[in-house]
Structure formats: structure tokens, C-alpha cells
């Protein structure tokens, strides 16, 4: 599930980059995942250097968290994008939205994991910002 969480966060950034031109440089992404199955929300922050080539073709830096996960763009409206994500092997499906505004990005992915007769909801909120040139 953690790999799917990371993958959905990066998918969010990649799809938002397709909505508008994302600026190359060092980006910091903070993700907060909440779920009824967690005692408290989990937060993770990571930095990533995005080159000019990567921002020109964001699909190229979108990892596959699981071999069968598929991210399908749903639409674009202004500076916002939306998508569906499906990971049949893990029994997970979800939707996401993101908004890129200059050197910042905000988004949310909602996933449902089905199995053993129950559905578990997971919500990941992402905030990203360009922190400067790559080091």
C-alpha cells in the first residue's frame, strides 16, 4: 500500500505538470495520508530534482507503484487536472485531482481498497513547491 501511496503522489505531480508547464528545479512534496485503518494521519516529505526534460515530458517520471497500476487522465480544466487510478492486483481503485499554480501544486487522491469483505478508504493530500534550482 505504501508503494501505491508514493506512486499516487508522483502521479499527481506528473498529471498536474501536464496541465501547465511545471518549472524545472528542486521540488519538495509533502503528503498526508489518512485512513480509518491508521491510528493517525501519516505525513511524508520528499524532495525531487525535476530537469527541463522531465517537465517537458512528465509521463516519463511517473513510476509504476505496482506492475498492474494504471493512471488514466480524466480531464483538464484551467490549471486543474483529474484522473482515475486502478491497481487490480492490490484491489485498489481511486480518483485524484491536482492544481498547479506557478511554483506550487496541491492535490488529493482518494483510494478504496477492497478485500476480505470490506472496503477501506485512504485519502492522500499533497502539497508541493519549487524550492530552488537543483543541487
* Domain residue extents for the chain: 2-132
Three cell numbers at 128? 508541493
What one-character DSSP code corresponds to residue 40?
S
Q: CA 8 → CA 52, 64, 83, 132, distances in Å? A: 22, 9, 10, 24
What is the pLDDT tens value at each position of the chain, 135 positions in all?
Answer: 445 545 555 555 555 555 456 788 999 999 899 988 889 999 999 898 888 877 776 555 554 554 677 778 888 888 888 888 888 887 888 898 888 877 888 889 898 988 777 788 989 898 989 999 998
Answer yes or no: are the C-beta atoms of 47 and 28 closer than 8 Å.
yes
Q: Which residues contact 65 (CB under 8 A, 6 or more apart)?
A: 3, 4, 5, 6, 7, 8, 87
Whole-number pLDDT of residue 9: 52
Answer yes or no: are the C-beta atoms of 48 and 29 closer than 8 Å.
yes
The class that CATH gives domain 2-132 is mainly beta
Whole-number pLDDT of residue 12: 55
What one-character DSSP code corresponds to residue 23?
P
Amino acid at each position: 500500500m505504501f508503494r501505491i501511496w508514493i506512486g499516487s503522489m508522483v502521479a499527481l505531480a506528473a498529471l498536474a505538470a501536464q496541465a501547465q508547464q511545471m518549472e524545472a528545479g528542486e521540488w519538495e512534496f509533502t503528503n498526508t495520508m489518512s485512513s480509518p485503518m491508521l491510528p493517525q494521519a501519516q505525513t511524508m516529505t520528499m524532495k525531487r530534482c525535476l530537469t527541463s526534460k522531465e517537465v517537458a515530458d512528465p509521463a516519463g517520471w511517473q513510476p509504476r507503484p505496482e506492475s498492474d497500476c494504471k493512471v488514466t487522465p480524466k480531464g483538464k480544466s484551467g490549471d486543474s487536472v483529474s484522473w482515475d487510478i486502478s491497481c487490480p492486483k492490490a484491489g485498489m481503485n481511486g480518483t485524484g485531482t491536482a492544481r498547479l499554480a506557478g511554483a506550487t501544486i496541491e492535490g488529493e487522491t482518494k483510494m478504496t481498497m477492497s478485500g476480505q469483505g470490506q472496503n477501506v478508504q485512504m485519502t492522500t493530500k499533497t502539497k508541493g513547491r519549487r524550492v530552488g534550482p537543483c543541487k
